[in-house]
Amino acid sequence: MLHSSILTPSLLAGNHAHLAASAQAAAQAGAPWLHLDIMDGHFVPNLTFGAEVLAALRRAGLKTFFDTHLMLAEPQKYIEAFAKAGANLISIHIEPAYDHRATLARIRTLGCQCGIVLNPGTPASAIEPLIGLVDLVLVMTVQPGFGGQPFRSDMLAKLKEIDGWRQSRKLNFRLEVDGGIDLVTAAQCRAAGADTFVAGTSFFKAADQAAFARTIAGF
Ligand code: DX5
Ligand code: ZN
């Protein structure tokens, strides 16, 4: 089945001194989800926010769907904290060594949707055994760690491969892209099977965020 398009602005590109204001502005512009990039300085060479920031955004009145992308060497240690803080979907990377299946199951048990993520250098085959267990597959279209990097068009073939499995096995997970996504690269990813679009720099720098959200929703 073909999912409708969802825009999920990355708060990494928002104003970190006023994250709630950036989040409210994105929601008011019509973004159905918000993407939170959680980095630990180990799995990726950068630091961002912890679960308390998400809890504070909920306390500030944010009712949006939080799409939480954990770029952590040991994500299994933080699932509970992010679920309690108010995450709706928690995505974990395939690359570090931990029990991926048990961690995905734990995310579900805690009442959240679960996603599996793969870096540009990781082949689609690495996640193939898990695709029947997830609500979302996130294909990184940059090496994670920093916003504002150029889109890697060599990831389009990976999207097509995973979308092919989704169709032939009649699975229903969402297929998300993250990194260098703007209105041009999002359209290319849509044509390759993606339905869920993380946009940091392009969304927060857009002169008209509502028009940006409407364009993605129309894909
Ligand atoms: C990359 C993060 C992305 C990032 C995207 O490490 O996972 O979500 O914020 O930023 P842009 O859209 O600026 O490439
Ligand atoms: Zn991300």
Whether the per-residue pLDDT at 103 is higher than 90: the answer is yes
Give per-residue pLDDT as tens, 88-101: 999 999 999 999 99
Q: Where does the pLDDT of residue 19 fall: very low under 50, low under 70, confident under 90, or very high at 90 and above?
A: very high
In a domain, 1, yes or no: no
- Whether the CB-CB separation of 185 and 132 falls below 8 Å is answered with no
Residue 157 confidence (pLDDT):
98
Q: Whose CA is nearest to atom 9 of ligand 1?
A: 147
**201-205 mean pLDDT:** 98
**182-195 mean pLDDT:** 98
Whether the per-residue pLDDT at 1 is higher than 70: the answer is no
CA 168–ligand 2 middle distance (angstroms): 27
Residue 2 confidence (pLDDT):
87
**157-175 mean pLDDT:** 98
CA 185–ligand 1 middle distance (angstroms): 14
CA 176–ligand 2 middle distance (angstroms): 10
Give per-residue pLDDT as tens, 110-121: 999 999 999 999
How far are the Cα atoms of 99, 100, 107 from residue 77, in angstroms, in the given order? Answer: 11, 12, 11
Beta bridge partners of 8: 198
Nearest ligand to the C-alpha of residue 144? 1
In a domain, 210, yes or no: yes
What is the spatial order of strands in the sheet that 65-71 belongs to? 6-9, 196-199, 174-178, 136-140, 113-118, 89-93, 65-71, 33-39
In a domain, 125, yes or no: yes
Residue 140 confidence (pLDDT):
99
Structural domain containing residue 78: 6-217
pTM for the complete prediction? 0.98
Pocket of ligand 1 (CB under 6 A): 10, 12-13, 35, 37, 69, 142, 144-149, 178-181, 198-202
CA distance 38 to 1: 30
- The enclosing domain of 87 has a CATH number of 3.20.20.70
Whether the per-residue pLDDT at 3 is higher than 70: the answer is yes
- Phi then psi for 146, rounded to 5 degrees? -145, 145
- Which residue among 37, 67, 135, 195 is the active-site one? 37
178 has catalytic annotation: yes
Looking at ligand 1, which atom is closest to the CA of residue 39?
6
Instruction: Provide the mean pLDDT of the chain.
Output: 98
37 has catalytic annotation: yes
Nearest ligand to the C-alpha of residue 147? 1
What is the residue type of 31?
A
CA 201–ligand 2 middle distance (angstroms): 12
In a domain, 149, yes or no: yes
Burial of 96: CB neighbours in 10 Å, binned 0-12, 13-18, 19+: middle
**23-41 mean pLDDT:** 98
In a domain, 158, yes or no: yes
b/e 165-192 (16+ beta carbons within 10 angstroms → b): bbeeeeeebbbbbbbbbbbebbebbbeb
How many domains are contained in the chain?
1
Residue 214 confidence (pLDDT):
98
In a domain, 114, yes or no: yes
Whether the per-residue pLDDT at 173 is higher than 80: the answer is yes
